[in-house]
A and B are shown apart, each in its own frame.
Chain A
Amino acid sequence: MKIFTQKCCAVTFLVALLAIATQATTLEQMDLAHLAHAAQVVARVRCLSSESRRESGHIWTFTRFSVVETMQGALDATLLVRLPGGRDGHLVEGVEGVPRFLPGEETVLFLERTRTGDWSVTAWAEGTFRIERDARTGRERVTQDSSRMPVFDRATRTFRAQGIARMPMSNFREKLAAAIGR
């Protein structure tokens, strides 16, 4: 049996096992401008707490955020976001492509009201931008949850894996301002 390692295996297979992302959920490709157009609010938020409970036959996760900065629209000082899936007692309801948040984590979220009047995240993973601080430089970087997900581009009618990954916050702000201003 021959044993060696190589990178060109990627030609034949994609590194995978994306249990939380992608096609169990199918998303339409949306750039920043489309996201900003679809969202009622864009805000930088910090996760305070998260809890799941059953409601209307499904398990939902309700995450409370403090609003650090509102970039589009208006919000109160705190925000409650409702997303499908979560754990309720001994039951877990899984929905791929739905962002989850940990207390203390900072994100930029594109938000819209659902038909129930609750806040939710536009296009789920696409409307979620995680903020991390570079350990060496101390500078903030932004990564879109869907940046490695294949999502549908309505214009070209193809699925493409693209998005914002590890972009300096200053650059992201510029792009976002341009997208909101369109």
Chain B
Amino acid sequence: MNQRPYRRTHRTARLLAAALLAMRLAAPMTAGAYSLNYQVADMCQPSSVSGGTSCPLPTRFDTSVAGSINRRWSASLGTNPATILTANQTPSGQLAEIANTITTDFGIWTGVSGTTLSLAVLAPLGQTSVQDACDSSDGLNTICFNQPDAAFTTGVLSFTRVVTADIVGEQAGPGTPLSTFPGEILDADILLRPGDSTVTFATPAALASNPNAYDLETILAHELGHFFGLGHSGVWAAMMQPFAPGPGEFFGTRPTAQSPDAPLADDDRAGLRVLYPDPTDTTHIGVISGHVLPANSLELPAGTTEVFGAQVVAVDAATGNVVAATLGGWSCSDPGPPQFDGFYEIQRLAVGPTQAYIVYAEPLDGPLEPTDVRGDTTALCRNAITDASWPAHFSCTVPAVNDEFSTKVGAGP
């Protein structure tokens, strides 16, 4: 048997694109849109703590209780060199300027309409003088500017630690709250590289006079997107796209009191609405879903029934703006496991009598490649290799991303 029959024939195949495409108002658990991080619950546990489903669950905070998402930052800034540059040089003014930037950054995300991630679910922004305040086991969501963490190696400028649970009733550490659902974020810490004179971050007020510094507001806005559970976006204009602006530059439009979420793109907002849907939202209730099909299903790799790993994007038909993008290829109905059936779904789209969308699909054959989505796709399955004695009927193995098909080249949106 030829080991590579699929590659040989699919190079010339034409994607039939979405054979099933529908606008509807309710959706099953699916491939999940945008870029979310997933957790598969521990199905070795009773359903009372596992939730009873092996369908991948997006990782997110519990927003059901007002003030439940704590947040603080370490006022230890380092002095030689300072990590954060401010316009106000007085000690109190410096701290106030940084606190204002952090508050504004949280407001960027809580300013998105149609989500339960409102300002009300955030606890007041706290401050600590502890230098090494970013501890993954304390249940305190902390931003640290001066923590010489052992994880830093040469070349690492900043990173975010996010701790999630795969069952109900787990704790980040002793004395911290119990998880109320699998996939709940229990602790999230953002660390910026300290003590490096060549790597500094400036508040918006100080950026113009410090062109070699990174824009603190932009870096934190992006990091907070991860903090709240979002992954990277494929939309150029999105805050969550993976390419950060260079030093001296900031991303998009600065937030204002009238438009606190101004730096975000529709894709960012749509992703947040999927993670934290507001049941009272009557505007963003549209769903586009379908299957990406190959020209010849006999040429599919083992383990798949349709195309896995196609990029699907929705464009506003009137404006031409990209509204949202997703990685198609799987679906899941309780109790799982996921089926690799070519399914895609883009949720939380605005609806209206004149609202229409154009949907595009393309393979992961560049500019990014299947290896680039390894992290996303491998989180979809657990099996006996990843977990000893994992129940066979809840096992799955993520197939190779399917990039061996061609698509028709047409005019851009």
Please tell me if the beta carbons of A9 and B313 are within 8 angstroms of each other in the complex.
yes
Please tell me if the beta carbons of B172 and A84 are within 8 angstroms of each other in the complex.
no
Q: Of all chain A residues, which has the CB nearest B138?
A: A57
Q: Can you list 17 residue pairs at the A/B interface with Cβ under 8 Å?
A: A3-B17, A9-B413, A12-B412, A15-B362, A22-B232, A26-B244, A38-B154, A57-B135, A90-B42, A91-B166, A92-B164, A92-B166, A96-B226, A97-B159, A124-B155, A126-B155, A157-B212
Given A2-B358, A27-B157, A57-B138, A15:B246 Cβ within 8 A: no
CB contacts (< 8 Å) of B235 on chain A: these are 12-14, 16
CB distance from A54 to the nearest CB of B (A): 7
Chain A 1-49 residues near chain B, CB threshold 8 A: 1-28, 30, 35, 38-39
Please tell me if the beta carbons of A17 and B232 are within 8 angstroms of each other in the complex.
yes
Q: Of all chain B residues, which has the CB nearest A148?
A: B372
Report if A122 contacts B (CB, 8 A).
Answer: yes
Please tell me if the beta carbons of B360 and A5 are within 8 angstroms of each other in the complex.
yes
Please tell me if the beta carbons of A21 and B137 are within 8 angstroms of each other in the complex.
no
CA distance A21 to B232 in the complex (A): 9
Given A28-B157, A92-B164, A97-B159, A13:B236 Cβ within 8 A: yes
Please tell me if the beta carbons of B364 and A15 are within 8 angstroms of each other in the complex.
yes
CB contacts (< 8 Å) of A96 on chain B: these are 159-160, 226, 375
CB contacts (< 8 Å) of A63 on chain B: these are none
Please tell me if the beta carbons of A14 and B155 are within 8 angstroms of each other in the complex.
no
Which of A24, A90, A126 is the one whose CB lies under 8 Å from B165?
A90
Please tell me if the beta carbons of B161 and A20 are within 8 angstroms of each other in the complex.
no
Please tell me if the beta carbons of A25 and B158 are within 8 angstroms of each other in the complex.
yes
What 17 additional pairs, Cβ within 8 angstroms, besides A14-B234, A20-B376, A90-B165? A12-B322, A16-B311, A17-B232, A24-B159, A28-B156, A59-B136, A59-B163, A84-B149, A90-B166, A91-B170, A93-B161, A114-B150, A120-B151, A122-B154, A123-B154, A123-B156, A150-B243
CB contacts (< 8 Å) of B162 on chain A: these are 93-95
Which of A6, A14, A26 is the one whose CB lies under 8 Å from B157?
A26
CA distance A80 to B379 in the complex (A): 25
CB distance from B50 to the nearest CB of A (A): 10
CA distance A19 to B160 in the complex (A): 12
CA distance A7 to B311 in the complex (A): 10
Report if A158 contacts B (CB, 8 A).
Answer: yes
CA distance A126 to B313 in the complex (A): 30
Please tell me if the beta carbons of A95 and B159 are within 8 angstroms of each other in the complex.
yes
> Tally of A-B residue pairs with Cβ under 8 A?
272
CB contacts (< 8 Å) of A12 on chain B: these are 235-236, 313, 315, 322, 412-413
Please tell me if the beta carbons of A112 and B410 are within 8 angstroms of each other in the complex.
no
Report if B396 contacts A (CB, 8 A).
Answer: no
Report if A69 contacts B (CB, 8 A).
Answer: no
CB distance from A4 to the nearest CB of B (A): 6
CB contacts (< 8 Å) of A182 on chain B: these are none
CB contacts (< 8 Å) of A24 on chain B: these are 159-160, 222-223, 226
CB distance from B220 to the nearest CB of A (A): 12
CA distance A123 to B361 in the complex (A): 34
Please tell me if the beta carbons of B409 and A6 are within 8 angstroms of each other in the complex.
yes
CB contacts (< 8 Å) of B379 on chain A: these are 19
* Interface residues in chain B, defined as those with a beta carbon under 8 Å from any beta carbon in chain A: 3-4, 15, 17-18, 21, 23, 35, 37, 39, 42, 135-138, 148-167, 170, 172-173, 186, 198-199, 212, 219, 222-223, 226, 231-236, 241-248, 311, 313, 315, 317, 322, 325-327, 356-362, 364, 366-369, 371-376, 379, 407-413
Given A16-B233, A95-B160, A152-B246, A6:B408 Cβ within 8 A: yes
Please tell me if the beta carbons of B136 and A16 are within 8 angstroms of each other in the complex.
no
CB contacts (< 8 Å) of B408 on chain A: these are 4-6
CB contacts (< 8 Å) of B371 on chain A: these are 143, 148
Given A14-B367, A15-B234, A93:B136 Cβ within 8 A: yes
Please tell me if the beta carbons of B407 and A19 are within 8 angstroms of each other in the complex.
no
CB distance from B203 to the nearest CB of A (A): 18
Q: Which 8 A-B pairs have the closest CB atoms?
A: A20-B375, A16-B234, A123-B155, A57-B135, A84-B151, A5-B407, A38-B154, A19-B375
CB distance from A112 to the nearest CB of B (A): 6
Given A84-B161, A96-B160, A97-B159, A15:B367 Cβ within 8 A: yes
Given A9-B413, A120-B153, A152-B246, A19:B161 Cβ within 8 A: no
Interface string of A148-182 (1 = CB under 8 A from B): 11111010011101000000000000000000000
CB contacts (< 8 Å) of B326 on chain A: these are 17
Tell which of A3, A24, A93, A97 has the most Cβ of chain B within 10 Å. Answer: A24
Which of A17, A18, A30, A95 is the one whose CB lies under 8 Å from B151?
A95
Please tell me if the beta carbons of B362 and A10 are within 8 angstroms of each other in the complex.
yes
Please tell me if the beta carbons of A135 and B4 are within 8 angstroms of each other in the complex.
yes
CA distance A58 to B161 in the complex (A): 9
CA distance A97 to B212 in the complex (A): 24
CA distance A105 to B315 in the complex (A): 41
Q: Of all chain B residues, which has the CB nearest A11?
A: B412
Which of B148, B154, B313, B372 is the one whose CB lies under 8 Å from A18?
B372
CB contacts (< 8 Å) of B138 on chain A: these are 57
Given A90-B167, A94-B37, A150-B243, A6:B407 Cβ within 8 A: yes
CB distance from A60 to the nearest CB of B (A): 8
Please tell me if the beta carbons of B164 and A91 are within 8 angstroms of each other in the complex.
yes
CA distance A168 to B336 in the complex (A): 41
Please tell me if the beta carbons of B356 and A5 are within 8 angstroms of each other in the complex.
no
Q: Of all chain B residues, which has the CB nearest A2?
A: B358
